[in-house]
Amino acid sequence: METYDVIVIGAGPVGENAADRARRGGLSVALIEAELVGGECSYWACMPSKTLLRPGAARAATTGIPGLPEPGPLDPAEVFAWRDRVTGEGDDQGQEDWLASVGITLIRGHGRLAGVRRVEVTAGELPEGVSTTRALEARRAVVVATGSVPVLPDIPGLAEASPWSSRDATAADAVPESLIVLGGGVVGCEMATAYADLGSHVTLIARGGLLGSVEPFAGAAVADSLRAAGVDVRTGTSVTRVERRGTTVTVTVGGGDEAQQVTAAEILVATGRTPRTADVGLESVGLDPATALAIDDTTAVLTARGDDAGGEAPWLYACGDVTGRAATTHQGKYQARVCGDVLAASFGEGDTGTGTATASVERVADAPPWSPLRATADHGAQTQVVFTRPQVAWVGLTRAEADAAGRDVDEVAVDLTSAAGAGVTHPDYAGRAHLLVDRERRVIVGATFVGPDAGEMLHAATIAIVGEVSMDRLWHAVPAFPTVSEVWLRLCETYGL
Ligand SMILES: Cc1cc2nc3c(=O)[nH]c(=O)nc-3n(C[C@H](O)[C@H](O)[C@H](O)COP(=O)(O)OP(=O)(O)OC[C@H]3O[C@@H](n4cnc5c(N)ncnc54)[C@H](O)[C@@H]3O)c2cc1C
């Protein structure tokens, strides 16, 4: 039995951060990884997808600028080569070296809980029938950071057609002549944009509108722009059958007399992801492997407050995609920082390891809402950027969410072209900013920006929300002229200031 203070299962961006913060707090940490250290984000998600999207975005930003020659088509081979450099050609040695340098023990293999504070690791890549299982025990805590897996909808013929997942789309080395994208969420819209940029004839099929969880004007702007780029965008319809024959895939869209067929060289399924809770041994500690690991704001798993030092301390923690709370790298890493700090504060330096950690645990339990020991931003200040053209960026509530929560809000919206900076950025600059302001408290509770580089405008809104800055105070935050950020002045004016 190998023993560590903390065992983290999953070395994606989230697990790495939890391990790092716990280690900095003086705890011994083992980090278990079944595939590549750095996780989905580094090799098959955020990093490669944003690299594939960047050349098209740069081309669009410089197309139509007076005095600049029109840029030509993208060179897919060069784009893929850049993607490979950004993803380190799938080699995680650099990350492994970093873990060693900070004193975290990396254990390669598949980790599973095997009871309270017990973890078994099965090494991969062994001959069939040979299994090497290492038994580990956590003196203090186990953190589950196993991420998520894509959902394959139950559509006749879809599984048999071996469709692309987001991994295939972000790791491809060639551009299919035509591509059907199933799903109008973030990944569907981003990959439709990237592959249209790379020269594929893209058909995007979405059950609802695009980017359905955001303000409706955002999805509409992305749909318009995809159509202008030649993408066949079909919203409000479903695929009812899929068939791959030879080098083509045919999907049936809609049913009955309205049914239509679309044929393409490849099909990408981007219909969402689900927490990776299967095969993590959750049943061994009485948890349901079919559901997300619900956590409290200290990132302790809600139903696993078990017997630990002093009989008080939670021992099982989770962060990142596996919690179902947030499905972005930055929010998951935020939870991970909280998690690592909570573990360090509960059990780290100062705790001799011989007695109980009750006093420290109580200090953690009494921490105020905005202390580093609480994942408070998860509730009203989650941020996300969709790297489509236009970009879509939002933080906090949407109007629909505010209504559902019974919040009394004022809506304030202006076109980005109302800021002088827009006109000097691009002659055809377009976009919109939208705020939700709590009527009584006059503080922002939600913000959405749609436009070129809208993601860079988001953080001002995030700070205003987290800091609960009133609109009256924001009036005194004077944006520089002529920047696109001057839209904040327009928003204040439209609010009535
Ligand atoms: C195409 C795409 C693009 C995206 N773009 C962005 C973006 O631009 N910005 C953004 O913020 N988010 C983006 N996301 C979401 C982001 O990738 C995830 O939110 C993030 O990767 C979650 O991190 P994680 O550490 O929780 O999980 P993961 O990154 O999935 O890491 C989990 C790790 O755990 C390992 N693991 C799982 N089970 C076990 C086990 N039992 N034993 C050992 N190891 C195990 C896995 O191998 C993996 O390495 C994107 C997602 C996709 C699919």
CATH number attached to the domain at 390-495: 3.30.390.30
| 111 Cβ below 6 A of ligand 1 | yes
| 120 Cβ below 6 A of ligand 1 | no
Contacts by residues 18-21 (CB-CB < 8 Å, ≥ 24 positions apart): 18/143, 18/145, 18/317, 18/319, 18/336, 18/337, 18/339, 18/340, 18/343, 19/99, 19/104, 19/143, 19/340, 20/102, 20/104, 20/340, 21/336, 21/337, 21/339, 21/340, 21/341, 21/343, 21/344
| Second-level CATH architecture of 2-38+92-149+275-378 | 3-Layer(bba) Sandwich (3.50)
Count the neighbouring beta carbons within 10 Å of the beta carbon of residue 63: 13
Examine domains 2-38+92-149+275-378 and 159-271 and report if their fold is the same: yes
Residue-level pLDDT at 306 = 52
State the Cα–Cα distance between residues 222 and 210, nearest whole angstrom: 7
| Ligand 1 atom showing the smallest separation from residue 322 Cα | 26
Q: What is the 3-state secondary structure (H, E, C) of 197-247?
A: HCCCEEEEECCCCCCCCCCHHHHHHHHHHHHHCCCEEECCCCEEEEEEECC
Residue-level pLDDT at 124 = 63
User: Which residue's CA is the nearest one to ligand 1's atom 48?
Assistant: 39
Residue-level pLDDT at 364 = 85
State the Cα–Cα distance between residues 186 and 343, nearest whole angstrom: 33
Residue-level pLDDT at 125 = 59
Cβ contact 311:187 at 8 Å:
no
| Ligand 1 atom showing the smallest separation from residue 32 Cα | 43
| 114 Cβ below 6 A of ligand 1 | no
Count the neighbouring beta carbons within 10 Å of the beta carbon of residue 478: 9
DSSP 232-300: EEE-S--EEEEEEETTEEEEEES-GGG-EEEEESEEEE-S-EEE--TTS-GGGGT--TTS---B-TT-B
CATH number attached to the domain at 159-271: 3.50.50.60
The domain locations on the chain are 2-38+92-149+275-378, 159-271, 390-495
**Strand ranges (DSSP E) for 93-231?**
105-108, 110-113, 118-122, 133-144, 148-150, 178-182, 201-205
Q: Which residues pair with 450 in a beta bridge?
A: 392, 432
User: Which residue's CA is the nearest one to ligand 1's atom 17?
Assistant: 41
State the Cα–Cα distance between residues 469 and 443, nearest whole angstrom: 6
State the Cα–Cα distance between residues 322 and 291, nearest whole angstrom: 9
Residue-level pLDDT at 267 = 98
State the Cα–Cα distance between residues 468 and 345, nearest whole angstrom: 27
Closest CA to 169 of 39, 44, 37: 44
State the Cα–Cα distance between residues 402 and 267, nearest whole angstrom: 36
Strand order in the sheet with 383-386: 383-386, 391-396, 444-451, 432-438, 409-415
Select from 7, 41, 195 the residue to mutate for testing ligand 1; criterion: most ligand atoms less than 8 Å from CB.
41
Select from 7, 33, 40 the residue to mutate for testing ligand 1; criterion: most ligand atoms less than 8 Å from CB.
40
| 331 Cβ below 6 A of ligand 1 | no
Closest CA to 296 of 267, 316, 280: 316
CA of 123 to the centre of ligand 1 (A): 21
Question: Per residue of the chain (497 residues), what is the pLDDT tens digit?
Answer: 899 999 999 999 999 999 999 999 999 999 999 999 999 999 999 999 999 999 999 999 999 999 999 999 999 999 999 999 999 999 999 999 999 999 999 999 999 999 999 999 998 656 666 668 999 999 999 999 999 999 999 999 999 999 999 999 999 999 999 999 999 999 999 999 999 999 999 999 999 999 999 999 999 999 999 999 999 999 999 999 999 999 999 999 988 888 999 999 999 999 999 999 999 999 999 999 999 999 999 999 997 655 444 445 789 999 999 999 989 999 999 999 999 999 999 988 644 444 444 567 777 888 998 999 999 999 999 999 999 999 999 999 999 999 999 999 999 999 999 999 999 999 999 999 999 999 999 999 999 999 999 999 999 999 999 999 999 999 999 999 999 999 999 999 999 99
CA of 435 to the centre of ligand 1 (A): 30
CA of 146 to the centre of ligand 1 (A): 8
| 48 Cβ below 6 A of ligand 1 | no
